[in-house]
A and B are shown apart, each in its own frame.
Chain A
Amino acid sequence: MDSFIAGIDLLARWDVLAALLIGSIGGVLVGAMPGVGAAVAIAIALPVTFSLEPIVGLTLLLGIYGSSMFGGAIPAILVNTPGTPVNALTTYDGYPMTKRGESRRALSLAYSSSFYGAVLSIGALMLLAPVLAKVAPMFGAREIFLAALLGIVLVVVTHRGQVLPAAILACLGIFLSTIGIEPSAYTQRFTFGQPWLQSGIDLIVVVLGLFAVSQALVLLMSKDKPIVLPKVDKIGFFTQMRELWVYKRIATVASTFGVICGMIPGVGEFMSQFMSYSYAQRTSKTPELFGKGNPEGIVASEAANNSVPAAAMIPLLALGIPGEELTAMMLAVFYVHNVVPGPRLFAEQMDFIYALYISLFLLNVIVVAFLFFATRTMMKVMLIPNRFLGIMILTFSLIGVYTLRNSLTDVAIASAFGFFGFILKRLELPTSPVILGIVLGKLMEDRLRTAMARVREPLDFIDRPIAFVLFLMIVVAIVGQVWTVMKARRATGKGASNG
């Protein structure tokens, strides 16, 4: 309880609350702009938060992280284009409702179910915190190494159909983390005699290049599509909130799926949405209306995807394992602000953890209140043409890169990663394994070196319970992947012989 009060105390400052407000509303706005998304906004805002205190900077970025999906539902419902990829399923029933003239009702259901899912997820997070704090002291160097390795393995194997490219990109990320002067014997690695490479490749420069510059290139190379905004009626706030009560069962089940899927790294929003949507359809009295504007479909989709961000913070904060692209970004955000997620954070800075949880709750309150009253005004951001958005992102990203050190080299590196990210996006390959490799590569190298100093025989490495469990999880993840490959191969062979 003391930690909880200390957490409130950390947040009870005007600058923190202002950061949360700006981040939350900013997150909704970028979420509502198809083609921008939270990752780009976080990448751009990250260097700007340098001059702020860690808690202020983190709440600002947390606001963007937690609120973008709310905004993403708006274009999904109104113009059949998801604002963020995880709002794709909302288009199935949201857009048909808009065509029927029920856009306001669809939006209200999306907001209220998103809020419900998020609050349930934060509740789960708070209940789990004391348990995690008890387990935290059991983590030593080898456990942290194995947890980081598990994170990389999970992110790779969960990229279905892209496992090998994801593995290549994760290895590339790990390699990038080794460039420069290494910290144990102070020898140079892959500097090619260049002084600018001695300090290594800056994480922020890579993040800005891979997420912001690359997205700007995608938008600049695309074509503008004309968008016609539908009419959105005015309805009272409580009238809108009340309708969720009708769908409370679906909202609760969907949120639970979201919490469970969010806690498992690599599973995330898509799986939780799929499970929730299937459940809602299976148990509905009108399953034939799914995909044709069934409100239950919106509730299932939005409650599921909004319960994931808070739940995804559990492995991120407890073990330093991000589940997907956005949590990989948040991991980078924590590192940049000198907050190292992992077991020690729970043991030593429980007040900070509670402050983050409370921020997550507050941002949901801010966002839902903002959206209920300002939807009609803010939906105009959807009218910004794609290529104009590209110009905006490129202009903003310069501030992020150039203000770090006023270095032309940084801009050149960010541009190179922007080009690289553009190719990855064109090929529909994931960018998160690269970031994960860079962030976790350094950590793994350091922890393995420390751990190996106390290991005499290979089996000593896993002779502690948590280390053994983590090792077992890595083996299961890899064996499971190999088994899936073999099964698919056999199925392909059978299909070929039958044909």
Chain B
Amino acid sequence: MSRQEDDHPHVFPQGRRPGEILFVTVTMMIALALLAAIPWQTTWLPGKGLAAQPRFWPALSLGGVVLFGLINALSRVRVTRTPGRWQEAALWLRSLEFIGWYMLYVLAIPVIGYLAATLAFCAGLALRMGYRGRTVWIAAAFGLFVVLFFKTAMNVKIPSGAIYDFAPEQLRYILMRYF
């Protein structure tokens, strides 16, 4: 039972995951920068107690990030490092490609409409992931289902596409209302 081993307290685990120190360091640096910005990003109210100060909780929480980050860094120094920090960081960055797809999808909705944007997003991403033939059609059908369920049936609040303005009067209403 490997779970049994997991239940033993291990304060200094056998190895560090690649990228762990990098992540904690970046988090701490951001926390330190935010901590340094406290004087002009928060207010100190004269005559009020510490717990009532608007500055108290941001300072306490950011201080906590820095303090625990430092203790973590110190406790992990002696732990064997697993190589591959920068490969791991590169993998993190590679995932941003999908964030890019996602943002493009959102940007496309007010222009080409929810239906076209969703079909393009699902089918396009399926092609990008290496699927071909029937799976791409299934992805497009899934996109169509999402639009029909959420926009047409449940009428969720999603802006209509600017492209719909070019459609004839009656079709335009249908497109704007249901797709």
C-beta contact mask, A164-178 vs B, less than 8 Å → 1, else 0? 110110111011011
Restricting to A211-258, which residues have a CB under 8 Å from any CB of B?
213, 216-217, 220-221
Residue of B nearest to A451 (CB): B51
Stretch at the interface among A19-27, A124-132, A462-470, A481-489: A481-489
Contact A488/B12 with A426-B19, A426-B92 known, Cβ cut-off 8 Å? yes
* Cross-interface CB contact of B68 among A167, A185, A190, A419, cutoff 8 Å: A167
- Within the complex, which residue of A391, A408, A485 is in contact with B11, where a contact is CB–CB below 8 Å? A485
Q: How many angstroms from the CA of A467 to the CA of B68 in the assembled complex? A: 27
A293 lies within 8 A of chain B by Cβ: no
The 0/1 profile, CB within 8 Å of B marked 1, for residues 475-499 of chain A is 0000000001101110010000000
> A interface, by DSSP: helix, strand, loop or mixed?
helix
Report, as a range, how many residues of chain A touch the other chain. Answer: 35 or more
Question: A184-B54, A394-B98 are contacts. A221–B91 as well, Cβ < 8 Å?
Answer: yes
A418 interfacial by beta-carbon distance below 8 Å: yes
- CB under 8 Å from chain B, chain A span 185-210: 185, 187-192
Known contacts A161-B11, A427-B20, A485-B11: does B154 contact A48 (CB below 8 Å)? yes
Q: Cβ of A492 and Cβ of B12 under 8 Å apart?
A: yes
Do B54 and A412 have beta carbons less than 8 Å apart?
no
Interface string of A384-416 (1 = CB under 8 A from B): 000110111011101100110010100110010
Q: Which of B12-67 contact A (CB under 8 A)?
A: 12-13, 17, 19-20, 23-24, 27, 31, 34, 37, 41-43, 45, 49, 51-52, 54-58, 60-65
Sample (10) of A-B pairs whose CB atoms are under 8 Å apart? A161-B6, A184-B54, A185-B45, A185-B54, A189-B58, A217-B99, A270-B6, A394-B102, A484-B11, A488-B10
- Which chain A residues have a beta carbon within 8 Å of chain B's beta carbons? 48, 88-89, 92, 160-161, 163-165, 167-168, 170-172, 174-175, 177-178, 182, 184-185, 187-192, 213, 216-217, 220-221, 270-271, 273-274, 277, 291, 387-388, 390-392, 394-396, 398-399, 402-403, 406, 408, 411-412, 415, 418-419, 422-423, 426-428, 437, 441, 444-445, 448-449, 451-452, 484-485, 487-489, 492
| Interface set of B (CB-CB < 8 Å, partner A) | 1, 3-4, 6-7, 9-13, 17, 19-20, 23-24, 27, 31, 34, 37, 41-43, 45, 49, 51-52, 54-58, 60-65, 68-69, 71-72, 75, 88, 91-92, 94-96, 98-99, 101-103, 105-107, 109, 118, 121-122, 125-126, 129-131, 135, 138-139, 142-143, 146, 150, 154, 156-159
Known A220-B98, A387-B130; 10 more pairs at CB < 8 Å: A172-B65, A174-B57, A175-B62, A190-B37, A394-B98, A395-B118, A422-B92, A428-B17, A488-B9, A488-B10
